[in-house]
Structure 1
Amino acid sequence: MRHISGIRRAVAAAVVVAAAATSCTVQPSDGTGNGAGKQQPDAKPSATAPDGKPSKSPSSKPDAQEALLSPGDEGKQVRELQARLRQIAWYFQYPNGKYDAATVKAVKGFQEKRGLAKTGDTDPVTMKKLVGMTSKPGYFELYAGGDQPPAKPDKRCLTGRVLCISKSSRTLSWMIDGKVVSTVDVRFGSQYTPTREGVFSVYWKSRHHVSTLYDTPMPYAMFFSGGQAVHYSSDFAARGYGGASHGCVNVRNEGKIAALFGQVQKGDKVVIYW
């Protein structure tokens, strides 16, 4: 019996040696009779990102058409996109900085005309093509329809009650003790009838004024220098910056100029600067 046991032990040892010779590792059992970690010849290791999510395979092709700008986006980049599309007659509104339905329509039209994927999103290929066909929009192109940010207030605007008017930003800010109460878009006189610059004061208010020189309405007029006044202009409201005043400071938002007219008092300061 001892002899037979010795033979059995020798056979068992031989089996173990044979198994070791035909396998790289010995995997522990998972209790089901299958090796839980048994290596498969065709299996590829899967990479895992730090957040625990499977990462893309190194051979995966990157998405070169990922959108730079798309519906819902807002800001100066969208405004520049709209201004460029407007230069080549694809976008017919004033830039507003909002990637809205009109912007999507313009981008799709541009893409289709150039044989690009008609997605309505602005991807790198679309942007490169558009930039190559247009020039960088200037300030007045970006804000052709208004809504431009006001310029830094002149130091003369920082005390008291002031109509602080910047020619560079084309804005009027109503300020009290250095704080901006409200801001409106404005336009000025042409090169032949320029709006005067300097420090003035409101010396007369006329709610329903009509110009005796040009026979045109000047509602909510607040005169500050001779015949020049801040007032509402229906022409500015209709034509925008395509026109000019005869020296007055035109406001196109009637509701805002009406509110301003009610707040400004005779003697309040007017500062006009670049």
Structure 2
Amino acid sequence: MGEIRRRGVVALGVTGLVAPLTRALTAAPAQAASCTTQAGPYQKQVEKFLGRPVDGKQSAADCQAIKAFQDKHGITPDIGYAGSVTWGVMDLMNKQKAVGKNPNKDGACPVNKGRIACVNLTLQLSWIQDGKKLVYGPVPVRTGRTGFATRTGLKKIYWRDLHHVSTVYNVPMPYSQFFDGGQAFHSVGLSMWNPPGSHGCVNMTTKDAKTYWALLKTGDDVFVYGRKPGT
């Protein structure tokens, strides 16, 4: 009975690996074709990010490059339109890259706790540190969408399940390390930049989730801070 209660509590708020139900925040023009001929409001920024000629005008090659980016990261509609969702993902990537190997430059994650896993929701980055020493990361993560926020604050890993399966969504959550109710680090088979986000968990690539599993243990601290863009 105790195990049933525990799994029931853990299930609350867990990330579901369901097909992403994403919607563009900037309405793209309706097109019967698979690639739009219209330039979007972030055309120049998107062209620059993709290494395309920056002229603010949509070309067939621009559209194909934008569409390929959208397909890679699960952004819909994938018609090559340079809207706010597509640019938002690219802008976040730029900000993540600028962090380099000093993710705790602002000192927000505690350095007096020994080993701790830090999660910066604003930059969608996570890393592990020992005091001031960076142990692993930073790595991109995918956290809770609107209505399923990854809760902030200082927490502890209280349960680990290598082969966990969500009892809410009936989907696998490999390398699960739970730190707040049903919220956990775990791997997913999605892009880390796939909008709109998880159902509360901190999604990671399989490589990073495996490394977190090896470096962390029950009782280790987790600190979550900031706010996910768009929430």
**Which among 107, 112, 121 is matched to residue 53 of structure 2?**
107
- Structure 1 vs Structure 2: percent identity of aligned residues? 27
CA distance 1:110–1:221, change in 2 (3 Å): same
Q: 1:228 maps to which residue? A: 183
CA distance in 2, matches of 1:179, 1:226: 28
TM-score scaled by structure 1?
Answer: 0.49
Aligned length: 158
Q: Hey, which of these two has a bigger chunk of helix by percent?
A: 1
SS at match of 2:200: coil
CA distance in 1, matches of 2:156, 2:130: 14
* 2:91 partner amino acid: L
CA root-mean-square deviation: 3.6
Contact 2:95–2:123 (CA under 8 A) maintained in structure 1: no
CA distance in 2, matches of 1:245, 1:198: 18
Q: Does 1:248 align with 2:201?
A: yes
Q: 2:92 maps to which residue? A: 143
Q: Does 1:192 align with 2:147?
A: yes
Superposed displacement of residue 235, structure 1: 2.8
Contact 2:116–2:129 (CA under 8 A) maintained in structure 1: yes
CA distance 1:269–1:112, change in 2 (3 Å): closer
Q: Does 1:269 align with 2:221?
A: yes
Superposed displacement of residue 227, structure 1: 0.9
CA distance 1:226–1:86, change in 2 (3 Å): same
Q: Does 1:164 align with 2:110?
A: no
Q: Which runs of 5+ in 1 are unaligned?
A: 1-84, 96-101, 114-133
CA distance in 2, matches of 1:110, 1:195: 37
Q: 2:165 maps to which residue? A: 210
CA distance in 2, matches of 1:197, 1:167: 9
TM-score scaled by structure 2?
Answer: 0.57
Superposed displacement of residue 141, structure 1: 3.9
CA distance in 2, matches of 1:233, 1:193: 17
CA distance in 2, matches of 1:222, 1:92: 39
CA distance in 1, matches of 2:58, 2:224: 47
- State the Cα deviation string for residues 59-97 of structure 1 (Å, max 9, x = none): xxxxxxxxxxxxxxxxxxxxxxxxxx992289579x4xx
- State the Cα deviation string for residues 9-68 of structure 1 (Å, max 9, x = none): xxxxxxxxxxxxxxxxxxxxxxxxxxxxxxxxxxxxxxxxxxxxxxxxxxxxxxxxxxxx
Q: Which runs of 5+ in 2 are unaligned?
A: 1-39, 60-82, 227-231
Which one has a bigger Cα radius of gyration? 1
* 1:224 partner amino acid: F
